[in-house]
Chains A and B, each alone.
Chain A
Amino acid sequence: EPEVTQTPSHQVTQMGQEVILRCVPISNHLYFYWYRQILGQKVEFLVSFYNNEISEKSEIFDDQFSVERPDGSNFTLKIRSTKLEDSAMYFCASSGARGQPQHFGDGTRLSIL
């Protein structure tokens, strides 16, 4: 069964550095999402992406964050000038059509030191 794959599985970064989290959505999917889960908290929506542009973003997704689909397969989340509170599990998800359920990757654990 096709899967959403995320790399790396764990990223450790010094505060203030930039990180790029990578995702390969399911190949024929058109809708892409990033979520995060801070330890002990709910899974929270960050941003949705369709047709090469952001379709919706949450209040969390401020100027520190950006997304890109640099080629036909990758979908990346960039976090500039990381802060301690950015430490979380980041999940990528994709769906094939608007009404279809989202499929999630196994996440990247981001640890900011």
Chain B
Amino acid sequence: DQQVKQNSPSLSVQEGRISILNCDYTNSMFDYFLWYKKYPAEGPTFLISISSIKDKNEDGRFTVFLNKSAKHLSLHIVPSQPGDSAVYFCAAIRSGSARQLTFGSGTQLTVLP
């Protein structure tokens, strides 16, 4: 199942710089997108979301951008902090569904001090 793809398994960024995590999707029925962060031995933690009617949503250091025509979204973290080091999952919800999440494979972000 490749409906949600995160093509970069890992990303390293210097502390204070911008982290950009990317996600692509194929299903045009997705109408809501979310980013989750996951530390080892913990469950995914919700970060930020965006509806398909918007192209940007911002919450503090986190901004999600959605390009519907390209079926692409990205998560920007500015400035990056060492505590941001985790696996980041992109997830999507299909219109008309029971709102279950379809996850990407995740990107391991490492923020170097």
Contacts and interface: CB of A to CB of B under 8 A. Distances in A.
A41 B9 CA distance: 12
Interface residues of chain A: helix, strand, loop or mixed (majority): strand
Contacts of A95: 99
Per DSSP, chain B at the interface is: loop
B97 A106 contact: no
B41 interface: yes
Nearest to A34: B100
B100 A106 contact: no
Chain B interface category by residue count: 20 to 34
B103 A107 contact: no
B75 interface: no
A65 interface: no
Interface residues on chain A, size class: 20 to 34
A45 B101 contact: yes
A12 interface: no
A102 B46 contact: yes
21 contacts: A6-B43, A33-B100, A41-B105, A43-B89, A44-B103, A48-B98, A48-B99, A48-B100, A55-B98, A56-B97, A56-B98, A91-B44, A93-B43, A93-B101, A98-B99, A101-B34, A102-B99, A102-B101, A104-B36, A104-B43, A106-B42
Given A45-B101, A102-B46, 13 more contacts: A4-B43, A33-B101, A35-B101, A42-B106, A43-B101, A45-B102, A56-B100, A58-B100, A98-B99, A101-B46, A101-B49, A102-B99, A106-B43
Interface of B: 1, 32, 34, 36, 41-46, 49, 89, 97-106
Interface of A: 4, 6, 31, 33, 35, 41-45, 48, 50, 55-56, 58, 91, 93, 95, 98-99, 101-107
